[in-house]
Structure 1
Amino acid sequence: MSKAPARKMFNGIEASGPFPVEYRFSHAKSGNRHLVVVFANFSAPEDYGWCNGVFDNVRANILWIRDRFDGMNAYYLCRNMDFGLADSVQTLIANVTRSLGLTADQVTLWGGSKGGSAALYFGLRYGYRNIVAIVPQFLVGDALERRHPKVSAYMLGEGAPAHNARFLDALLPDLVRARANSAANIYVLSSPQDEHYAVQVEPFLGMFQGYDNFNFLYSESPTITGHATVTRRNVPALVGLLNLLADGYAPRLGFVRHAAEEFDRETSDIDAYLSATSKVQGADAFAPPVVTAPDYNGEAPATGLRFAGTARGAVRVSMWENGKFVASPEVAADGSWSWAPAKPWATGKHLVKIFAVDPAGFHSSRVEVPFTVVDRPAPAGPTPPVVDVPVPGQQVGPSVALHGNAPGAVQVGFRENGVPLGAVAVAQDGGWGWDPGWAWPEGPHLVEVVAVDAVGGRSAPATAAFTVMYVQEPAGHLAPGY
């Protein structure tokens, strides 16, 4: 039997809360009316758990949530004990549930290890119907102190105070003692071969006696050699359980009803949510980067190749070729970025795709840069020009002239957002001045200034960053700003 095709993924960021939360989403199959929310363990690639195709045949909608905040894991709970992080995660789950037209009774929370702890926390606290927690840790603070010092510092705060760790230790036990969401269908999997079992799981099992449908899956096998292998040993049974839950069956004694299926259900709400929170934003929301080097469809040297450009509002750009990551240079305060590979590039044609990334993690649309690498060194070229006027960040009126010097150059050229604006000759003493003769549009501007020598060699660009302001005179006439 051939393998089922991979599920189509939508990537997005829920940024309405205090912490941006990255996610992946895949629509249900066969009209299934259920949502599975997946939390990651520490070893999950890119901090997305169970996103390697193991859920390809699961019939439900699936929401994978990334446990990556400021470059660090957080058990989906807190940073410096600020639980606004957990609130942001819950906002994402609630918004997707609502956009699908579902209720908390049609949601399964799923996770392993720290993801299992998160599934228990959000399931018990917010009333989701089904919870599958695979080798969870009930004492989160203890787990941090013993095994994860960097995550401990991130979650507990400076110095990782012990009293903060004890606060996290009490989160899950306190919810269970309070019988939070006691009607939930809860499935906890662990094994005596799990090194966490004796401290992190076994002491808490009796606390679930007041729950309507608590199930402990006890897995013991000579093939289980530790914490990580408990999950791998039970993957087929776990995925089978997930499809039962997605179809409305919670294994228990008594009557169960098959979940409804709607093959032609209206999807405009979830489509609108996925579009609004899509990681890739349209050009009108977040401008793609401008690439000034190498030249579009131009030639570039194998040794001395350099990429450069501008990306306003971004913190970095991401470069890819043939689906493989190339580099991610940071964007300077003036909007400029550049990157030079450490090794020569292969000669021949190349097509590099580049997008910008803003502080929240949203992506701009991609720009494609086709060029040909040739086997010759890069020309030395002149040094970049110096821009004296306007000074960086200066507020000016609409009639802006640029001045500076470029020793060794015969000409300097000007461009903005990749569009040539003009050029001017350089005096014998290296000085130059350029007055375009037009009124600049109001707002911020970033003009690139490139020096050209007598043999046509071009320098790396310098930048002139300024803001044009108009002042309203009492009589209603527009006057230059200051």
Structure 2
Amino acid sequence: MSNAPSGGAPHSGIEASGKYPVQYRFAHAKKGNQHLVVVFANFAAPDDYGWSNGVFDNLRSNILWIRDQFDGKNSYYLCKGMDFELERSVITLISNVMNSLGLTPDQCTMWGGSKGGSAALYFGLKYGFRNIVSIVPQFMIGTYLEKHPSVAEFMMGQVTETNIRVLDNAIPDLVRAGANRGANIYVLSSPQDEQYPVQVEPFLGLFNGYENFNFIFSDSPFISDHTDVTRRNVPMLMGLINFLIDGMAPRLGFVGNGREQPDADRSAIDGYLKATSQVRPSFPAPMVFTPSPGQQVHTPTVGFTGSAPGAVRVSIWEHGKFLGSPQAAPDGSWSWELGRPWSKGQHVVRIFAVDTTGFASPATEVAFTVQAQGSPSPGPHMASGGQLPVQQTTGPSAPAPVISVPAPGQQVPGPVIGLMGYAQGAVHVEFVEEGMPLGMAPVAPDSSWSWESGWSWTEGPHTVECHAVDMGGNKSQRTAVTFSVVNAYASPAPAQHLTSGY
């Protein structure tokens, strides 16, 4: 039920033995690799699963993605109302997966960026995991939550100076106490990250007694903000994680690699995955009214309708890739369109119903065949993720673009805002707000595009519209997304920083 990484499409499940049910995805290692990478999510990660956009497709290790969503809120995987039973529920999941694989903490890597980087440090240090990769983390979690007031209220209950101090000291106190001094720790940050002077630099000296602490200082004129640091360093980070998976932590001395066990017994982990499966056979599969099984479709747009009693949404997939998740009405009815043309030929789509707790039904499969590839109908249709393109005078052949980031209604930390999506058959997309042009972005060969404003946005709601332009200059219908900018403070002046020695 996700992009297919390592050993095929990942398994989705819920560890419900603790006080707080923890949702996860798991992918088996390739060729018997005996390692586990645990992935913690950053803010604004798709569906609150970090690094789930295919970047780990070629990793050989087992991968455990943990969703940071509890009662609809993020938590840094730590607490709700200062109740750290939430943390214990998370470590229960990690321990159960690790033990089911027959691994030890020495064969595990904690991995995450930003909020997820803080969680990787916290769990890696506190519970003795061998490898920790923490990308642009926040050390002072309580202070940083001033930028995310809804998360602060969820985690603290009462946002008081005492509770802020407890969360601010969660990671630094572990380091001061020398927790897990033998870990291989890799922290990545940048002077171009506005969080660096307050959230990272003051704490680097605490690691002086650690055997293999590595600070990767990414100083580049091509980095403009917090999120750019990660984006700019993805190739290097992928190289690092492959070293760690092979048992090699970059350091002086002899190291070995390999250790694959292709014939290892997987019955324990398979049993655990089955016992915690997100799919509940007792939950009825959704009904699909249109398209009908085997239907021949003569247009590239296909309208899906159906019913899923007891569900809050349905989740739609093809070949292990997520397509969309429309909401179900109180009577169970739902409808959806992809928002881009379907390719010519046969398609087999799997649809799951999802209840309020996150459990999913067995899948309903519907097969249909697109016979002819033509222009989308002129009327409005729903884009992936529920975004509604606005009626607009358009050229004859430019499909409306899809905006995947930010999601509708999302609270986006400012001050600089980025948008991402795809636009099939287009050469570029153009952006406007309230009739004012904002800019444009080229479309890559795979139809993806990304754009950053380069200026500070005001706090509050914004509605950005974009349209695609094809090689003939034809403009598509506009796709609109409404989101809220929070904490749109001005970027700080550059701080004094180290240039070498790490």
The equivalent of 1:230 in structure 2 is 229
Q: Residue 110 of structure 1: CA displacement? A: 0.6
* 1:319–1:328 CA contact under 8 A, matched in 2: no
In structure 1, the gaps of 5 or more residues are 300-304, 343-349, 372-482
2:103 maps to what in 1?
Answer: 102
CA contact 2:6–2:62 (8 Å) conserved in 1: no
Residue 7 of structure 1 deviates from its aligned partner by 5.0
Aligned runs of 1:123-142 on 2, under 5 Å?
123-142=124-143
Q: CA deviation at 1:162?
A: 2.6
Contact residue 40 and residue 111 of structure 2 kept, 8 A: yes
Aligned with 1:337 (options 326, 332, 336):
332
Provide the residue aligned with 2:251 in structure 1: 252
Indicate the SS of the match to 2:32.
coil
For 1:219, the equivalent position in structure 2 comes to: 218
- Partner residue of 1:176? 175
Structure 2: distance between partners of 1:263 and 1:340: 44
Question: Once the 2 structures are TM-superposed, how far is the Cα of residue 124 of structure 1 from its aligned partner?
Answer: 0.6
Contact 2:6 2:56 in 1 (8 A): no
Q: Is the 8 A contact 2:39 2:51 kept in 1?
A: yes
Cα distance in structure 2, aligned partners of 1:234 and 1:255: 26
Query: Aligned to 1:164, what secondary structure does the other structure show?
Result: helix
Q: Structure 2: 5+ residue runs without aligned partners?
A: 296-302, 338-346, 369-502
The 5 Å alignment of 1:266-415 reads: 266-281=265-280, 283=281, 285-288=282-285, 311=309, 314=310, 316-318=312-314, 320=316, 324-325=323-324, 327-329=326-328, 331=330, 337-338=332-333, 355-367=352-364
Structure 1 pair 341–231 and aligned structure 2 pair: CA distance change class (3 A): closer
> For 1:369 and 1:216, how far apart are their aligned partners in 2?
50
1:412-427 → structure 2 map (5 Å cutoff): none
Cα distance in 1 for partners of 2:214, 2:263 equals 35
Counterpart in the other structure of 2:488: none
Q: Aligned Cα RMSD in Å? A: 3.2
Distance 1:318 1:115 in 2: 27
Distance 1:278 1:191 in 2: 40
* 1:155 and 2:155 matched: yes
One-letter identity of the residue aligned with 1:56: D
User: In the TM superposition, what is the alpha-carbon distance from 1:43 to its structure 2 partner?
Assistant: 2.8
Aligned match of 1:474: none
Deviation at 1:272, TM superposition (A): 1.3
Distance in 2 (CA, whole Å) between partners of 1:135 and 1:115 is: 9
Q: What secondary structure does 1:30 align onto?
A: helix
**1:180 shift after superposition:** 0.7
Q: Which amino acid is 1:26 matched to?
A: A
* Letter paired with 1:100: L
Cα deviation, 1:184-229, whole Å, max 9, x if unaligned, reads 1111111111111111111111111111111111111111111111
- TM-score calculated relative to the size of structure 2: 0.63
Task: Tell me, yes or no, if the aligned pair for 2:307 and 2:334 is still in contact at 8 Å.
Answer: no
- 1:214 alignment partner, SS class: strand
How many residue pairs were aligned?
A: 348
Paired amino acid for 2:314: S
Q: 2:139 is matched by which residue type in structure 1?
A: F
**What amino acid sits opposite 2:359 in the alignment?**
F
Partner Cα separation in structure 1 for residue 313 and residue 175 of structure 2? 45
CA contact (8 A) 2:41 2:67 kept: yes
Change (3 A) 1:173 1:30: same
Tell me by how many angstroms 1:120 deviates: 0.4
Q: Secondary structure of the equivalent of 2:112?
A: strand
Q: Which amino acid in the other structure matches residue 327 of structure 2?
A: S
**CA deviation after TM superposition for structure 1 residue 277, in Å:** 1.5
Aligned residues with identical type, % of pairs: 59
Given residue 168 of structure 1, which amino acid in structure 2 is its aligned partner?
L
Partner of 1:263: 262
Deviations 1:232-277 (A, max 9, x none): 1111111111011100011122333335211111111111111222
Deviation at 1:368? 5.7
Distance 2:58 2:291 in 1: 46
- Provide the C-alpha distance between the structure 2 equivalents of 1:57 and 1:165, rounded to a whole number of angstroms: 40
Are the counterparts in 1 of residues 6 and 29 from structure 2 also a CA contact under 8 Å?
no
Conserved? CA contact 1:6–1:53, under 8 Å: no
Quick one: distance in 1 between partners of 2:32 and 2:316? 36
Q: 1:370 to 1:99 in 2, by over 3 A?
A: closer
Q: Residues 53 and 7 of structure 1: is their aligned pair in 2 closer, same or farther, counting only changes over 3 Å?
A: farther
What does residue 91 of structure 1 align with?
A: 92
Contact conserved, 1:317 with 1:354, CA < 8 A, in 2? no
Query: 2-side partners of 1:247 and 1:286: how far apart?
Result: 41
Deviations 1:103-127 (A, max 9, x none): 0110000111111000000001111
Task: Confirm whether residue 119 of structure 1 aligns to residue 114 of structure 2.
Answer: no
Distance 1:295 1:250 in 2: 52
Partner residue, 1:433: none
Shift of 1:28: 1.2
2:304–2:336 contact (8 Å) kept in structure 1: yes
CA distance in 2: counterparts of 1:24 and 1:321, whole angstroms = 15
Q: Which of the two has higher C-alpha Rg? A: 1
Task: Tell me: CA distance 1:235–1:329, structure 2 relative to 1, closer, same or farther (3 Å).
Answer: same
Question: Do the aligned partners of residues 295 and 252 (structure 1) sit closer, same or farther apart at CA in structure 2, a change above 3 Å counting?
Answer: closer
8 Å Cα contact 1:319-1:326 kept in structure 2 = yes
Q: Give secondary structure in 2 for the equivalent of 1:360.
A: coil
Aligned in 2, Cα 1:184/1:360: closer, same or farther, shift over 3 Å?
Answer: same
Listed one character per residue, the Cα deviations across residues 319-375 of structure 1 (whole Å, up to 9, x for unaligned) are 6497743632255xxxx5345889xxxxxxx9996543334311111346899xxxx
One-letter code aligned to 1:356 = A
Distance in 2, Cα, partners of 1:175 & 1:359: 36
